[in-house]
Homo-oligomer: A and B are copies of this chain.
Amino acid sequence: MSKPYVIGIDLGGQTAKFGIVDARGNVLKQTAIRSNTQNNPEEFINDLAEGIKKLIDKEYSIEDIRGIGVGAPNGNYYTGCIESAANLTWAKNQVVHFADMLKERVGIPVALTNDANAAAVGEMTYGAARGMKNFIMITLGTGVGSGIVINGDVVYGHDGFAGELGHTCAVRNNGRICGCGKTGCLETYASAMGVARTAREIIELTDRKTLLRNIPAENITSKDVFDAAIQGDEVAKDIFAFTGRMLGEKFADFVAFSAPEAIILFGGLTKAGDLIYKPIVESMNLNLVPIWRNKIKVLFSTLNESDAAILGASALAWEI
């Protein structure tokens, strides 16, 4: 292979992590820059291009890099643009032609998609979905992201924005307010943020005894809930059971859509292990059309979390 490497960029609200990846999915070298200190897209792209040059340095040659794959919030695969990304200081309320700008600056082809789609490609190329043609990737981070793969291809839809399963309706009436402007979205219940909100609700609305009362309510994080749960705290365990039930209920709908072989879970909340896994599987099966009951695999990602986002993004670059 004349060009044996790709670069993967995981663009987040605070940092951009990027690395050089080989065809076997080894992250050979990685680094990061701040992504919240720039005032406009040009500044950020300049910093990033500098960072990429330093990464390649003398060890590698730009001639050996086949392409760059970027996973970015609100990234549109069709246009290569980042569109109105609220979490990126330099990209709010505007359309940034990110792929074109970076390509021009670095001289290598660039493909871009949103973080969850990048994770799906990574999982298919290097992880738990190797060999699968039909699966759904669900990322349980601050929010709930999703990447849908059908017949081996990520679903982008008519406009490039398909796969917003975090914003399907989990609670029809009197649901929690979501950052997207709607109420009752799955993300408001089943994300790290959602877990913390559930904890605060239980503390405010009930007298149940829980270790979580030792933390000021507004500071509770999903990590605190996890820590309490492994100490045997019943409220904390119930919070994960509730979160899992909400996910499983919606997974049943997702299965009715695309009949995937598996649903693959990635992100912070998966650290809760069986605390969240068991209620997910139980409630999914309870809500599935009988033909699919006990037939759909639910799997945790097998990618090393520190590499996964870079790997996922990099995998896009093989397809340029």
Contact = CB atoms under 8 A, between A and B. Distances in A.
B172 A289 contact: no
A58 interface: no
This chain's copy number in the assembly: 2
A256 B136 CA distance: 13
Interface string A242-255: 00000001001110
Contacts of A161: 259, 291-292
A257 B172 contact: no
A249 B172 contact: yes
A164 interface: yes
Contact of A162 (B172, B253, B259): B259
Chain A interface, >50% SS class: loop
A169 B252 contact: yes
Contact of A157 (B150, B156, B159, B165): B150
Given A157-B134, A259-B160, A182 B289 contact: yes
A181 interface: yes
A290 B86 CA distance: 14
Nearest to A178: B289
Contacts of A182: 287, 289
A181 B257 contact: no
A150 B289 CA distance: 22
A257 to B, nearest CB: 5
Interface of A: 133-134, 148, 150-151, 153, 155-165, 167-169, 171-172, 180-182, 249, 252-254, 256-261, 287, 289-292, 295
